[in-house]
Amino acid sequence: MKKENGFIWKLGMFVTIGLLLLISTIYFIGKRQNLFGSTIHLKAAFKTVSGLKLGNNVRFSGINIGTVNNIEIISDTSVLVDVVVKKEMQKFIKTNALASIGSDGLMGDKVLTISPGIFDDSIVYAPIKDNAFIPAKSAVEMDDIMYSVKNSVDNVDIITSELAEFTYKLNNGKGALSKLMTDEKFGKTLDATMDNLKASSKGLSENMEAAKHNFLLRGFFKKKEKAEAKKKEEAAKKLEEQKMKKEDAAKKLAEDKKKKKG
């Protein structure tokens, strides 16, 4: 009899541990799918679900809070998605929440994201109810991205063709720009012109000096000088006033800090 007991408890232990392993595995997988524990259902209608599948994750603020429970097509333009969300998340999801479909990484699964809506301090949003509808925000589709990429590529095409035309004209044309770029003689002429211009402007400044001393124009120049001096003074005054203000503000701040510490 003793011998029998010896093997029976070993067998019992073996069976118990094996069954516990199996049950815990099933429990944890079930927990992941929200089959156990209290949950709430939320619904959202999308134009397209972009490959969302049953069992995909539902995210709120980047945390997985549930899974997609059912996807049902209602009409040719709307698909109803039913999601199961943990009950403890109910108080965080407000009535102004928005649902959108995105993808998890480049190759990853699709995820349904519930994001808080535009927040307005004046309104207190109530937590969402069970079986409530969440307005859907249409996600950026791959097609949309491709379409905009195509647009910009088309533009680039036009720009490059125009650029090619422009450079061709530049190289072979007879306009001023092409002359500037290619004609050596023109460059030399331009240089000479610049020299002439320099000499003539020097002459002009001498003329002006002479004009200042001329009694007919002296009055005008004196008036101008006076006006400039006045402007400078005013500017200096303003600067000083600003400095004073800043110092006052700094003093006030210091006093406030002292009061707080006190």
Partner 1 sequence: MLTYIKNIFNDVGDVSLFTIRFFKEVFKPPYEIKEFFKQCYFIGYKSLPLVAITGFIMGLVLTLQSRPTLAEFGAESWLPGMVALSLVKEIAPVITGLICAGKIASGIGAELGSMKVTEQIDAMEVSAINPYKYLVVTRVLAATLMIPLLVVFADGVGIIGGFAGVNIHSDVNMVRYSEQVIKSLDFIDVIPAVIKTFFFGFSIGLVGCYKGFNAANGTESVGKAANSAVVVASLTVFILDMMAVQIVDLFY
Which residues have a Cβ under 8 Å from the Cβ of 139 and sit 6 or more positions away?
A: 50, 100, 101, 102
Q: Shortest approach of partner 1 to residue 26 CB, angstroms?
A: 7
Q: What are the residues facing 81 on neighbouring strands? A: 44, 71
Q: Which is nearer to partner 1, 7 or 119 (CB)?
A: 7
Q: Which is nearer to partner 1, 33 or 148 (CB)?
A: 33
Q: Which is nearer to partner 1, 6 or 262 (CB)?
A: 6
* Residue 1 one-letter amino acid: M
How far apart CA 37 and CA 166 sit, in angstroms, is: 71
Decide if 63 contacts 83 (C-beta within 8 A).
no
Q: Shortest approach of partner 1 to residue 24 CB, angstroms?
A: 9
Q: Shortest approach of partner 1 to residue 110 CB, angstroms?
A: 16
How far apart CA 104 and CA 69 sit, in angstroms, is: 18
How far apart CA 102 and CA 128 sit, in angstroms, is: 22
* Residue 135 one-letter amino acid: P
Q: Shortest approach of partner 1 to residue 5 CB, angstroms?
A: 11
The 132-133 sheet, strands edge to edge:
98-103, 110-115, 57-60, 63-75, 78-86, 39-46, 132-133
Helix (H) or strand (E) holding 112: strand 110-115
| Contact set with partner 1 (CB under 8 A) | 4, 7-8, 10-11, 14-15, 17-19, 21-22, 25-26, 28-30, 32-33, 55
Dihedral (Cα; 83, 86, 87, 88), 10-degree rounding: -140
Q: Which is nearer to partner 1, 28 or 147 (CB)?
A: 28
Q: Which is nearer to partner 1, 17 or 164 (CB)?
A: 17
Q: Which is nearer to partner 1, 8 or 239 (CB)?
A: 8
Phi-psi category of 64—alpha, beta or left, where left has phi over 0 and alpha has psi -120 to 50? Answer: beta
* Residue 82 one-letter amino acid: D
Q: Which is nearer to partner 1, 10 or 237 (CB)?
A: 10
Q: Shortest approach of partner 1 to residue 112 CB, angstroms?
A: 17
Q: Which is nearer to partner 1, 16 or 171 (CB)?
A: 16
How far apart CA 94 and CA 83 sit, in angstroms, is: 16
